[in-house]
């Protein structure tokens, strides 16, 4: 099948021809370059209007010139249906509809962010990887489960490329700012900035404000650029490792234009090497916005019969990747295995040794992070985990007893609790317990920080063994990302992190998601306010353009 793909979500007008018989792709692109500042939607749309016919014409000529046979030179037309800037998307959609009708071939609407994932999965040969999408307007982690790509983690404010551009505009540099930051960082030294990770979610607003202030206070632009990269890419690498740990996957692919940054790729590759996972970053022409990935996924969808009628082809600027039914691939098996006594397990940030009645958790150095940043995070998280684990226990929340803390080694010794992780025994009663536990610690003025189904242990055995715990008892563990706070947004984010982990690991997450809310509503004195904020968090559409 030969598919013509058209891309135009924001700044790059692009057309491509993909032939699935030869696995070859021809791409023609014309990128919009603003004279100053960032992307101006009106100017970008005008660029699309002028450039799309030209790049499509070049690819059509290529398709006809290389066509061999009696059939059509093009078997389907695929286009980026969203997310993106509405005026740009509408130009692309109009061109795709006209071409589909003129050639009398099927029309395929492609989600731009899923295409970033699929081109990496296709080229790498991976089965079911986690994908880190790092582009201008987007930043999120995707994992496949039950026929959809689930959002495991995402930015709480803005896309990673847009965040970097906010700083570069502040210092007077033109778009795109990412390559300029990368170039200046080569001559810089480390400077401390905010580092914000909440479960597998992350935030860039604080670090952008700090970078502007540090620069205005006289820090060299080279040092600020170095610090920006070390913190932002360190956050992305950490959450990517956490997603691998949660899902049990040992494959990671990178997508998005920011993925062209050598330091980000270096961090991700180092992290994967250290945990025995495989990493793949596509060629730069498939990382930045391009029609090749649109044509490739369009071919997969067309082969699966996933085409659309013209009347159903409206573009969607807010098209989330988890809204896409994945019709072109089969199911995958879970690989979750609960640890046993005598075993050592590598988690997202620690090595955990299990004995008969104790667990020793040691936060190992992360060589992908700058040594100063890594030492600070390991020390601070170890102290917080020990304190908050004990404080939660005083609030009536089942947690492991802390037996020893060694800050020099960044290690904690706990009493062993639970028979298995909640993700392996995800019941309604278990998630209701989590709702009540989170209500208790929130009412006490702190958050867990990373309440996923991996960080809840369940005593599921029928013999009562588990240091005397009754069967079915549910424990919260791993408070290393927790902190004291009285902000409603922080409490809502705790619930959001748990909700995302249910979607990413449970076979039927919907009743479980509602059960958590019901239990929280019944147990918390501030439930109405927190749940209203949770609804607002989920409705922001943060991974849209």
DSSP assignment letter at 126: -
Question: Helix, strand or coil for residue 83?
Answer: coil
- What pLDDT sits at residue 330? 73
Tens digits of per-residue pLDDT, 26-52? 999 998 877 666 677 788 889 999 999
Which long-range contacts link 38-44 to residues 24+ away (Cβ below 8 Å)? 38/162, 38/165, 38/169, 38/175, 39/10, 39/11, 39/85, 39/175, 41/85, 41/86, 41/87, 41/88, 42/87, 44/10, 44/11, 44/85, 44/87, 44/88
Question: How many angstroms separate the Cα of 502 from the Cα of each of 156, 182, 458?
Answer: 19, 37, 15
Report how far residue 398's alpha carbon sits from residue 324's, in angstroms, rounded to the nearest whole number. Answer: 39
At the second CATH level, the architecture of 344-538 is Orthogonal Bundle (1.10)
Q: Could you tell me if 137 and 161 are in contact, meaning their C-beta atoms sit under 8 angstroms apart?
A: yes
- What pLDDT sits at residue 502? 94
Kindly state the tokens that stand for 202.
């992350």
Active site residue 217: no
User: Which residues make Cβ contacts (< 8 Å) with residue 60, sequence separation at least 6?
Assistant: 4, 73, 74
Place of tokens 């090595």: 351
Q: Give pLDDT tens digits along the chain (545 positions).
A: 999 999 999 889 999 999 999 999 999 999 887 766 667 778 888 999 999 999 999 999 999 999 887 778 999 999 999 999 999 999 999 999 999 999 999 999 999 999 999 999 999 999 999 999 999 888 999 999 888 999 999 998 888 999 999 999 999 998 889 999 999 999 999 999 999 999 899 999 999 999 999 999 999 999 999 999 999 999 999 999 999 998 989 999 999 999 999 999 999 999 999 999 999 999 999 999 999 999 999 999 999 999 999 999 999 999 999 999 999 987 655 545 555 555 678 888 899 998 878 999 999 999 999 999 999 999 999 999 999 999 999 999 999 999 999 999 999 999 999 888 998 889 999 999 999 999 999 999 999 999 999 999 998 653 334 444 456 799 999 999 999 999 999 999 999 999 999 998 898 999 999 999 999 999 999 999 999 999 998 876 554 43
Query: What's the 3-state SS for 307-348?
Result: CECHHHCCCCCCCCHHHCCCCCCCCCCCCCCCCCCCCEEECC
Report how far residue 82's alpha carbon sits from residue 444's, in angstroms, rounded to the nearest whole number. Answer: 42
Q: Could you tell me if 380 and 421 are in contact, meaning their C-beta atoms sit under 8 angstroms apart?
A: no
Tens digits of per-residue pLDDT, 461-479? 533 344 444 567 999 999 9
Could you tell me the fold of the domain covering 2-118+287-323? Nucleotidyltransferase; domain 5 (3.30.420)
Tens digits of per-residue pLDDT, 100-156? 999 999 999 999 999 999 999 999 999 999 999 999 888 999 999 888 999 999 998
- CATH topology of 2-118+287-323 equal to that of 121-281? yes
Q: Could you tell me if 531 and 523 are in contact, meaning their C-beta atoms sit under 8 angstroms apart?
A: no
Given the residues 289, 433, 450, 499, select the one marked as catalytic. 450
Domain locations in the chain as residue ranges: 2-118+287-323, 121-281, 344-538
Report how far residue 505's alpha carbon sits from residue 401's, in angstroms, rounded to the nearest whole number. Answer: 27
Cα angle: 221, vertex 227, 228; to 5 degrees? 85
* Backbone φ, ψ for residue 440 (5° rounding): -65, -45
- Whether omega for the bond prior to residue 176 falls within 30 degrees of 0, making it cis, is yes
Q: Exposure of 471 by Cβ count < 10 A (0-12 exposed, 13-18 middle, 19+ buried)?
A: middle
- What pLDDT sits at residue 250? 95
CA trace torsion 74, 76, 82, 85 (10° rounding): 30
Report how far residue 511's alpha carbon sits from residue 427's, in angstroms, rounded to the nearest whole number. Answer: 10
Closest CA to 475 of 545, 393, 403, 384: 393
* Backbone φ, ψ for residue 176 (5° rounding): -85, 145
- Whether omega for the bond prior to residue 35 falls within 30 degrees of 0, making it cis, is no
Name the CATH superfamily housing domain 121-281: ATPase, nucleotide binding domain (3.30.420.40)
Strand (E) positions, 83-181? 107-111, 130-134, 139-145, 148-154
Report how far residue 402's alpha carbon sits from residue 414's, in angstroms, rounded to the nearest whole number. Answer: 5
- What pLDDT sits at residue 38? 64
DSSP 399-439: -PPEEEEETTTTEEEEE---SEEGGGS--HHHHHHHHHHHH
- What pLDDT sits at residue 465? 40
Closest CA to 529 of 482, 487, 472, 475: 487
User: Which residues make Cβ contacts (< 8 Å) with residue 214, sequence separation at least 6?
Assistant: 191, 193, 224, 227
Report how far residue 378's alpha carbon sits from residue 252's, in angstroms, rounded to the nearest whole number. Answer: 24
- What pLDDT sits at residue 467? 43
Residue 49 has a CB neighbour count (10 Å cut-off) of 17
């Amino acid at each position: 099948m030969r598919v013509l793909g058209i891309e135009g979500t924001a700044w790059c007008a692009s057309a491509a021809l993909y032939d699935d018989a030869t696995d070859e792709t021809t791409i023609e692109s014309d990128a919009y370059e603003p004279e100053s500042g960032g992307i101006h939607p009106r100017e970008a749309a005008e660029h699309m209007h002028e450039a799309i016919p030209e790049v499509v014409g070049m690819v059509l000529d290529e398709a006809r010139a290389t066509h061999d046979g009696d059939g059509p030179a093009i078997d389907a037309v695929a286009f980026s249906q969203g997310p993106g800037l509405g005026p740009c998307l509408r130009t692309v959609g109009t061109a795709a509809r006209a071409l589909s009708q003129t050639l009398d071939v099927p029309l395929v609407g492609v989600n731009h962010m899923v295409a970033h994932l699929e081109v990496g999965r296709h080229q790498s040969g991976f089965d079911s990887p986690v994908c880190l999408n790092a582009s201008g307007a987007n930043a999120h982690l995707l994992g496949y489960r039950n026929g959809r790509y689930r959002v495991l983690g995402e930015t709480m404010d803005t896309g990673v490329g847009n965040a970097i551009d906010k700083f570069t505009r502040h210092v007077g540099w033109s778009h795109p700012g990412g390559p300029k930051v990368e170039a200046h960082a080569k001559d810089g030294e480390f400077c401390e900035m905010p580092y914000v990770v909440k479960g597998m979610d992350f935030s860039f607003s604080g670090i952008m404000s700090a970078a502007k202030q540090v620069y205005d206070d006289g820090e060299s632009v080279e040092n600020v650029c170095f610090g920006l990269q070390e913190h932002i890419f360190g956050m992305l690498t950490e959450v990517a490792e956490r997603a691998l740990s949660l899902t049990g996957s040992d494959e990671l692919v990178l997508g998005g234009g920011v993925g062209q940054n050598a330091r980000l790729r270096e961090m991700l590759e180092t992290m994967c090497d250290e945990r025995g996972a495989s990493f793949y970053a596509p060629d730069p022409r498939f990382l930045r916005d391009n029609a090749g990935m649109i044509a490739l996924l369009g071919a997969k969808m067309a082969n699966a019969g996933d085409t659309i009628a013209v009347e159903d082809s409206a573009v969607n600027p807010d098209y989330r990747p988890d809204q896409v039914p994945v019709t072109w691939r089969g199911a995958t098996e879970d690989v979750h295995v609960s640890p046993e006594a005598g075993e050592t397990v590598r988690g997202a940030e620690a090595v955990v040794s299990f004995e008969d009645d104790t667990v020793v958790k040691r936060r190992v150095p992360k060589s992908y992070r700058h040594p100063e940043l890594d030492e600070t995070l390991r020390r601070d998280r170890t102290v917080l985990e020990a304190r908050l684990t004990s404080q939660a226990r005083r609030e009536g929340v089942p947690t492991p007893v802390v037996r020893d803390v060694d800050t020099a080694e960044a290690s904690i010794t706990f009493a062993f609790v639970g028979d298995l992780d909640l993700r392996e025994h995800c019941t309604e009663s278990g998630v209701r317990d989590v709702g009540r536990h989170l209500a208790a610690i929130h009412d006490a003025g702190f958050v867990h920080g990373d309440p996923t189904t991996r960080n809840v242990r369940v005593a599921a055995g029928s013999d009562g063994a588990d240091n005397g715990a009754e069967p079915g008892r549910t424990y919260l563990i791993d408070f290393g990302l927790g902190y004291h706070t009285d902000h409603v947004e922080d409490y809502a984010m705790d619930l959001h992190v748990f909700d995302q982990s249910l979607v990413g690991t449970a076979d039927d997450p919907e009743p479980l998601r509602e059960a958590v809310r019901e239990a929280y509503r019944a147990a918390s004195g501030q439930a109405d306010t927190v749940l209203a904020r949770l609804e607002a968090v989920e409705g922001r559409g943060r991974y849209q353009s």
